[in-house]
Amino acid sequence: MTEPTATTAAPTPAVLPAEDAVAAVPTQKHQERWFLRFTLAQRYLHAVLFTSFLVLAATGLIMRFSGSVWAIRFAKAVDGFGTVLFFHKFCALVLTLAFLIHVREIFARGLFRHEKGIFWGPTSMVANWKDVKDLFGHMRWFLGLGPKPKFERYAYWEKFDYWAVFWGMVVIGFSGYAMWFAPFFARFLPGWALNAALVIHSEEGLLAILFIFSIHFVNTHLRPDSFPMDMVIFTGRESEEEFKKRRPDEYKRMMAEGRGAIRITDAPPKWLINFSRVVGFTALAIGVILLVLTLSAYFE
Amino acid sequence: MIFTSAFLLAILARPLHADVDCLSCHGDPTLQDSNGKKIGVSADKFHASIHGSLKCTDCHTSIHDYPHPAQQAPVQCVTCHAEETSGLAGSVHAKASEHPCLGCHGDPHQIVPKTDPSSSVYPLNIPKTCGSCHGNEAMAKKYHLPNVYSMYLDSIHGFALGKEGLLVAANCTSCHGSHKILRHTDPQSSTYRTNIPATCGSCHVGINEQYQRGIHGKAVAAGNTSAPVCTDCHTAHGIVEPTSADFRMQSTPVCGSCHRDKFSTYRDTFHSQLGLLGGYVETARCWDCHQAHEVLPTSDPRSPVAPANLVTTCGRCHAGANASFVQYQPHANARNRRLNPALYYIRLFMNLLLASVLTFFMIHTVLWLVRSRFQQVKSKSSGGDHD
């Protein structure tokens, strides 16, 4: 996962005119410049990820808290647990497929196309020393003890989100398939591993649900700076002002490397913003409802 | 015997001459005494009844001549029906305000044999006869009884009898007896706890044999009254088809009411989590693995949960179950370090992971929120761009 190239949205100049060209665009009109942060494929990946996750979470919670009133009501409404489990398994397959495509893409870009910055460097998802410094710097800033850190392309909490989901998919996926195909997995796993699979699956699933629907939602969408929703994951674009403010180090590096122009794109179309709002707020609402149900079932 | 011979007599010989005198007055079915009590008798119906061969004075023994006094001694059924009457005398119906016999058998001048489909005590009619009192809400309330009539009608026995018309299906008297009905708290009662297996077993012979071989049957036979009998799982009146979704959904807590530890660990498993949701009632319930009637300990080689039989037992649902698969513990307790150490530490690790990640990020997020808001307000008030 490195910086995207706006191949469709913005024309790529054959020769990079660097700062000149970049600077030339906004002066023509007093309009904002927009930069592409996420490619269409990355946005689709996120969409597939959160859609299947919402269904997995909803159906998973019903099974995890099957004694609660809402779980039984919902299961009855959809004609019992067969339907619930069907959707759970279906979305598990979708998510597995998305995960495999993503992993394949990462390795293809890193190992075969020798793309730089996939596994290391400022654009990589792999944590580095700057992330540690940023974490402590950020905490100091929270307490008013220092300046706000200048973030790169992926801030430390975004990397955490990414790896949490990555690790979560491996763990939840593996334990889930172990239960789905229990007699097959029992050929190489001891019997108690099937007991462990449910414990791991449900605890890790709960962690994912609680984390995504509270911490990810607030960190990414609901905190004052992005409230009520950070649209960049849906539109793929952010304004120059946002870019500069949120990821000053990346902006500086892009400009210094003269690579700013290849990321320039058009403003997000109105329909896309509206569509994103509908989708985004629906997902947010479902997530919050599921969070409330989870907490209510936990303390029932 | 009495019924049969009386019936034959009724057909062969009709000593009419004695009745003619009585019927010249009482033959008018609308006849009433000064209190408005019906004292008329339908001659045709009486002669067709099981008592049709008797003379009026055989029962109304205080009348010898005409005219006779208005007040008469009550008819004593006991004269002929000694066994029934003595049974009734010790029963729950002994103190009934109505005539204890007529309440069920109806007008004594029209009683027909119980094998006659028009009899109020013909098997198919019994629930309705008993239900005329026991289906009465007010009456049920008065005697603190459940309204068992409607429960029975909807039950598998009520359905078999009422809808399918099966004479052999259990009616009220099959379990409670007819004349000597005793409270279920009375050790003599057919519905007393320890007598229930024999009562149900009078029809369900095969099931009772299995039950008697099982650990529960043996416990009851040894005098352990807390061990389950038929009605604990199947209930008494509202018995449903044991393979039905309703039964499968409602019955695991029954086992769990005694086997609390096993129930709570069962509740932690996939079997229970899915089983609770309905719609897929095939998920394993207690008796699917342990048997319903011939419940045997794991140590008994005949038990389906004996180690040697597990591959077969689990394999009934899980195609491809093998020796490793059946090491799965359907009652594993992740909270018990001694019994399930591996599971205990896995759960502990997962819980610590959950708690630490959420705690750290919760603090992180709250601090961030506060700081961002502070910055925002400060920037706005100073007119500058917020951070």
Confidence band, pLDDT 50/70/90 cuts, at residue B280: low
Residue A56: which domain range? 18-298
pLDDT of residue A198: 94
- The mean pLDDT value for A116-139 works out to 91
Please list, in sequence order, all residues whose beta carbon lies within 8 angstroms of the beta carbon of residue B24, skipping any fewer than 6 positions away. Answer: none
- Whole-angstrom distance, CA of residue A100 vs CA of residue A95: 9
Which of B321, B367, B387 is facing A183, going by the closest CB pair? B321
Q: How many CB pairs under 8 A join A and B?
A: 155
| Chain A residues 203-242 with a CB less than 8 Å from chain B | 203-204, 206-207, 210-211, 214-215, 218-219, 223-225
B264 to chain A, any CB pair closer than 8 A? The answer is no
Least confident of A129-133, B135-139, B294-298: B135-139
Q: Per this entry, what is the length of chain B?
A: 387
Which of B140-154, B275-289, B304-318 shows the highest mean pLDDT?
B304-318
pLDDT of residue A223: 85
A300 to chain B, any CB pair closer than 8 A? The answer is no
- Whole-angstrom distance, CA of residue A165 vs CA of residue A152: 20
**Nearest residue in B to A192, CA atom:** B328
Tell me whether residue A214 is in a domain. Answer: yes
Q: Left if phi > 0, otherwise alpha if psi is -120 to 50, otherwise beta: which for A154?
A: beta
Which is nearest to A35 in space by CA: A236, A229, A230, A234?
A236
pLDDT of residue A174: 96
- Whole-angstrom distance, CA of residue B316 vs CA of residue B288: 9
Least confident of A16-30, A79-93, B183-197: A16-30
Confidence band, pLDDT 50/70/90 cuts, at residue B3: low
* B357 neighbourhood in chain A, CB within 8 Å: 164, 207, 211
- Whole-angstrom distance, CA of residue B257 vs CA of residue B228: 10
Least confident of A108-112, B100-104, B164-168, B339-343: B100-104
pTM attached to this predicted model? 0.79
Q: Do the Cβ atoms of B279 and A189 come within 8 Å?
A: no
Confidence band, pLDDT 50/70/90 cuts, at residue A12: very low
B267 to chain A, any CB pair closer than 8 A? The answer is yes
DSSP-assigned letter for residue B378: H
Confidence band, pLDDT 50/70/90 cuts, at residue A167: very high
Confidence band, pLDDT 50/70/90 cuts, at residue A192: confident
* A62 neighbourhood in chain B, CB within 8 Å: 277
B278 to chain A, any CB pair closer than 8 A? The answer is yes
Q: Number of C-alpha atoms within 13 angstroms, CB side, residue A53?
A: 26
ipTM comes to 0.86
Q: What share of chain B is helix, strand, coil (3-state, %, to 5)?
A: 50, 0, 50
- Whole-angstrom distance, CA of residue A68 vs CA of residue A292: 13
- Whole-angstrom distance, CA of residue B61 vs CA of residue A166: 98
- Whole-angstrom distance, CA of residue B90 vs CA of residue B189: 11
**Nearest residue in A to B319, CA atom:** A183
pLDDT of residue B273: 86
User: B interface mutation test: which of A88, A131, A142 has the most B CBs within 10 A?
Assistant: A142
Tell me whether residue A4 is in a domain. Answer: no
pLDDT of residue B126: 94
Which is nearest to B143 in space by CA: B106, B103, B190, B95?
B95
**Nearest residue in B to A66, CA atom:** B273
**Nearest residue in B to A74, CA atom:** B277
Contact B111, B118 (CB under 8 A): no
DSSP-assigned letter for residue A78: T
What percentage of chain B exceeds 70 in pLDDT?
A: 92
Centroid of chain to Cα A38: 11
Q: Left if phi > 0, otherwise alpha if psi is -120 to 50, otherwise beta: which for B144?
A: left
pLDDT of B41 over the 60 cut: yes
- Whole-angstrom distance, CA of residue B290 vs CA of residue B262: 12
pLDDT of B288 over the 70 cut: yes
pLDDT of residue B245: 83
A75 to chain B, any CB pair closer than 8 A? The answer is yes
Tell me whether residue A11 is in a domain. Answer: no
pLDDT of residue A4: 52
pLDDT of residue A67: 85
pLDDT of B66 over the 80 cut: no
pLDDT of B304 over the 60 cut: yes
The structural domain count of chain A equals 1
pLDDT of residue B5: 53
- The mean pLDDT value for A252-257 works out to 89
* B350 neighbourhood in chain A, CB within 8 Å: 199-200, 203-204, 207
- Whole-angstrom distance, CA of residue B229 vs CA of residue A153: 70
Which two tokens mark B127?
Answer: 């629930």
Which of B268, B280, B351 is facing A203, going by the closest CB pair? B351
pLDDT of residue B2: 54
pLDDT of residue B281: 66
pLDDT of residue B279: 63
pLDDT of B4 over the 50 cut: yes
For residue A98, the distance in angstroms to the closest alpha carbon of chain B comes to 25
- Whole-angstrom distance, CA of residue A225 vs CA of residue A205: 29
For residue A271, the distance in angstroms to the closest alpha carbon of chain B comes to 28
The DSSP bridge partners found for residue A237 are A36
pLDDT of A66 over the 50 cut: yes
Tell me whether residue A135 is in a domain. Answer: yes
- Whole-angstrom distance, CA of residue B41 vs CA of residue B80: 21
pLDDT of residue A121: 85
Which is nearest to A220 in space by CA: A144, A136, A296, A157?
A157
Q: Do the Cβ atoms of B328 and A139 come within 8 Å?
A: no
pLDDT, mean over chain B: 87
pLDDT of B382 over the 80 cut: no
DSSP-assigned letter for residue B2: H
Tell me whether residue A62 is in a domain. Answer: yes
Tell me whether residue A10 is in a domain. Answer: no
- The mean pLDDT value for B350-363 works out to 95
B2 to chain A, any CB pair closer than 8 A? The answer is no
Q: From the DSSP assignment, how many helices (H) and strands (E) are in chain B?
A: 22, 0
Confidence band, pLDDT 50/70/90 cuts, at residue B169: very high
Beta strands in chain A (DSSP E): 34-36, 237-239, 264-265
| Chain A residues 142-171 with a CB less than 8 Å from chain B | 142-144, 148, 157, 164
- The mean pLDDT value for B3-32 works out to 63
Confidence band, pLDDT 50/70/90 cuts, at residue A112: confident
Confidence band, pLDDT 50/70/90 cuts, at residue B197: very high
pLDDT of B16 over the 60 cut: no
Q: Number of C-alpha atoms within 13 angstroms, CB side, residue A171?
A: 20
pLDDT of residue A288: 94
Q: Do the Cβ atoms of B267 and A67 come within 8 Å?
A: yes
* B325 neighbourhood in chain A, CB within 8 Å: 182-183, 186, 191, 194
Confidence band, pLDDT 50/70/90 cuts, at residue B295: very high
Please list, in sequence order, all residues whose beta carbon lies within 8 angstroms of the beta carbon of residue B285, skipping any fewer than 6 positions away. Answer: B248, B251, B252, B271, B275
pLDDT of residue A11: 39
CATH assignment at residue A98: 1.20.950.20
pLDDT of residue B308: 94
Contact A75, B279 (CB under 8 A): yes
3-state secondary structure of A34: strand
- The mean pLDDT value for A94-104 works out to 96
**Nearest residue in A to B314, CA atom:** A183
- The mean pLDDT value for A82-87 works out to 90
* B334 neighbourhood in chain A, CB within 8 Å: 195, 199
Specify the amino acid at residue A183: P
Which two tokens mark A180?
Answer: 């789905």
Tell me whether residue A5 is in a domain. Answer: no
pLDDT in tens, B229-255: 999 999 999 999 988 888 888 888 999
pLDDT of B151 over the 60 cut: yes
pLDDT of residue B353: 95
Tell me whether residue A293 is in a domain. Answer: yes
